[in-house]
Amino acid sequence: MEKNCRVCNGNLIQFISFGKMPVANAYVSKKNLNDNNFKEYFYDMEVGFCENCKMVQLINLVPYDKYIVPDETGKTHYAFFSSTSSVMENHFKEIANEIEQRFLNNNSRILEIGCNDGIFLQNFKNNKVLGIEPSYNVAEIAGSKGISVVTEFFSEELARKISEKMGKFKAIFSANVALNIIEIHELVEGIKYLLEDNGVFITEDPYLVDILEKNSYDQIYDEHIWYFSLVSLSNLFSMHNMEIFDAERTDVHSGSMKVYVCKKGAYEKTERLRKYIEEEKQKKIDSLKPYLEFANRVENNKKQLQELIKKIKSEGKRIVGYAAASKGTIIQNYCGLTNNIIEYISDSTPFKQGLLTPGKHIPIVSPNYFHNDNSDYAFIFAWNHAKEIMKKETEFLKKGGKFILHLPEPSIIGIEENKTDTHIDTKDSNLIEGMETKKLKIFANDQGYLFETLRNDDEFYGKEFGQILVSEIYPGVIKGFHLHEKHDEYTICVKGNIKYIAVKEYPNGTRKINTFIIGERNPMLIKVPRGVWHGYRPLENKSAMLVYMMSRPYNQKDPDTQEKDVFAFGDLWSVKHG
């Protein structure tokens, strides 16, 4: 059955299906389970790509009344309170400061769509602010901070009413809101109507490129209807005579894009926006290929996680959960993590405590219960806050507990891994994702010797050629850590021997480190992919000569090189004696 895009009515191609899925935040009470008339709602969670406007979107929508349910008084409630995270509090403070300094004066008015508990608007002391928040429980907290809040869903009609009472706004902000709005054209029109002629709309949402690169499939659920790239957003705003003039990639929620939008021609487009759009083109975000590859990786991740869980349970160990996040609903139901596998989930939100998770009905308890328990493993479902959680729960680690993370690949973190980096030997099965090695065979006779390096039929060769460089490094020199976002690098050491170190940093705060000794004594080719820190130093107090190929030619105007201090990850360079 052919589906049409909700943005442009173009052809929508399904590239992944998660099967039957419950509503992510539709927590179940024990009373519900005892009610014979209770029927939990499930839907087919499928995602599609529009060939025309390039928008990625849910194919089947869940009606609003399935996840925004009024109480007996008619008031709606939301399960997430933004201020429970100190990381998010600091993040929104930084955004507020930037907007104030870059765009506002003392007479400027600011509007936030989806203001939650006021975590963003509370930072503006010199400006008139207005929040729009349909969920009464969080809106009441925002109101207690002195913030004016309209408890309605945003619409073009509401925008006109607000404009009649307050006039236009210099800045409109939203965070993790635009991706939830079914009537996306009405959202854009309402924003356009409320903006001053030189006003700005700033929106921050999970970035599609990060979802693909980090395999963060649990960002996909019923409330998240749209998955934005700059290409698809540009197409959307152009339909309303608006345009993106700036963008900034952020680490929040393990990969978001902050997008700056204005009425057409109001602001000059920035260079960093041009670079981001060029990167999307290089990654073929406007084609189906990366989405099909993503679907394959997601399926493999599921199988790896199931194998890890099976192994832990076969050892008679207990597993509990940490954070009853929306992401957790997706992981539990897609990967089959039942309440026989996860005994309970600890969550600090009082609203959730005493309820059961959607679909798999895992009990949700207070952190006190978790702290008094002696579980063996805790599965972190809010993996984007893993670093913050592990820092907070050091006592659990000290007692011998271990955390389970499923992204970017299933892993276990105990006190040693949390305290230091995870060093991995160089067997192929333990390589950083995307890294490859090739043992070079030497052919020698009485005339000399030769060895092949890289062939165009090598499986790991990406078929992109930029240039070949030769570099000699003198004794005692450490070629410090550097990283490339746009090209891969293939390296061999043809004279002398080197210690080659690669480091991959993950969103959860952990690292994987690969160390290689290569050169005359161990001829080997190393492929280091984009996004991996790497460096090397000569051994034996001798110089070393390297030949390396880049998949993209060097461009002085866009060098594509980030650098870190040689000891940014500790002393990895010293030779260990003994």
* Nearest of 213, 81, 205 to residue 507 by alpha carbon: 213
Helix/strand/coil for 189:
helix
Query: 113 and 202: one domain?
Result: yes
**Residue 225 contacts residue 180 (beta carbons within 8 Å):** yes
Query: 413 and 427: one domain?
Result: no
Q: What local confidence, expressed as pLDDT, does residue 264 receive?
A: 97
Query: In this structure, what CATH number is given to the domain that contains residue 544?
Result: 2.60.120.10
Q: Measured in Å, how far apart are the chain's first and last C-alpha atoms?
A: 67
Would the pTM of this model clear 0.75, i.e. be above it? no
Decide if 217 is inside a domain.
yes
Query: In this structure, what CATH number is given to the domain that contains residue 369?
Result: 3.40.50.720
Decide if 33 is inside a domain.
no
* Nearest of 192, 193, 78 to residue 134 by alpha carbon: 78
DSSP code string of 390-448: HHHTHHHHHTT-EEEE-SSS-EEE-HHHHHS-EEE---GGGSPTT-EEEEPPEEEETTE
Range of the domain at 482: 423-563
Pairing assessment for the beta strands 226-227 and 149-150 based on DSSP bridges: unpaired
Q: What local confidence, expressed as pLDDT, does residue 426 receive?
A: 38
CA distances for 108 relative to 105, 148, 244, 344, 395, angstroms: 5, 16, 21, 48, 47
Query: 201 and 301: one domain?
Result: no
Higher pLDDT, 315 or 118: 315
Confidence of residue 383 (pLDDT cuts 50, 70, 90): confident
Q: How many domains does the chain have?
A: 3
From CA 404, how far away is CA 320, in angstroms rounded?
Answer: 10
* Nearest of 135, 87, 94, 128 to residue 111 by alpha carbon: 128
Query: 96 and 245: one domain?
Result: yes
Of 5-14, 427-436, 538-547, the range with the highest mean pLDDT is 5-14
Asked which of 374, 405, 420 is the last residue of a domain, the reply is: 420
Decide if 380 is inside a domain.
yes
Query: In this structure, what CATH number is given to the domain that contains residue 106?
Result: 3.40.50.150
Decide if 198 is inside a domain.
yes
* Segment 265-298, tens digit of pLDDT: 999 999 999 999 999 999 999 999 999 999 999 9
Decide if 574 is inside a domain.
no
Query: 242 and 317: one domain?
Result: no
* Segment 75-110, tens digit of pLDDT: 555 545 555 567 778 888 999 999 999 999 988 999
Query: 232 and 247: one domain?
Result: yes
Query: 315 and 362: one domain?
Result: yes
Decide if 31 is inside a domain.
no
From CA 368, how far away is CA 375, in angstroms rounded?
Answer: 13
Query: 326 and 448: one domain?
Result: no
Mean pLDDT in the chain? Answer: 89
Query: 297 and 273: one domain?
Result: no
Confidence of residue 422 (pLDDT cuts 50, 70, 90): very low
Q: What local confidence, expressed as pLDDT, does residue 201 receive?
A: 98
Decide if 509 is inside a domain.
yes
Lowest mean pLDDT among 131-145, 322-336, 360-374: 131-145
Decide if 170 is inside a domain.
yes
User: How large is the average pLDDT for residues 452-481?
Assistant: 85
Query: 99 and 247: one domain?
Result: yes
Asked which of 265, 283, 301 is the last residue of a domain, the reply is: 283
Query: 256 and 335: one domain?
Result: no
Asked which of 420, 439, 466 is the last residue of a domain, the reply is: 420
DSSP code string of 163-187: HHHH--EEEEEEES-GGG-S-HHHH
Query: 336 and 384: one domain?
Result: yes
